[in-house]
Copies of this chain bind each other. A is one copy, B any other.
């Protein structure tokens, strides 16, 4: 299977379909079955002490798997998350972006499964790990 969309294609699609998230996420790298994304950390993502909130970590993991799936199947707005699990392992560092390394482990006809490791930029030990299952809409 090969990439159906470029980084630019994905960003145009994301901004059009999810205008309320505009500017929150960036794509650092894209490959077959994998993507590296970034949460442009701002005030609204923070908790006291300056660390990124749990929902923001969840959101970055979720959008990463979504974009990795779209890149492989083409622009289909209807793929939806059906389940996820997240382990929060370390406090995110204050004042830096959050980076997600995402890999698709399965891209089936009906379900896709991705795993994500999330890091504070410049820090080796991961902040969290997540796995996400997406349901893929039938063609046509």
Contact = CB atoms under 8 A, between A and B. Distances in A.
Interface residues of A, number: 42
Contacts of A82: 87-89, 111, 133
A126 interface: yes
Contacts of A131: 85, 87, 129, 131
Contacts of A117: 105
Nearest to A49: B77
A82 B82 CA distance: 11
A139 to B, nearest CB: 14
A2 interface: no
A71 to B, nearest CB: 19
- Identify which of A44, A62, A84, A135 gathers the most chain B CB atoms within 10 Å of its CB: A84
Query: How many chain copies?
Result: 4
Interface stretch (A4-12, A51-59, A94-102): A51-59
Contacts of A48: 17-18, 77
Interface in A112-136: 113, 115, 117, 125-126, 129, 131, 133, 135
B87 A113 contact: yes
- Identify which of A55, A110, A135 gathers the most chain B CB atoms within 10 Å of its CB: A55
Contacts of A22: none
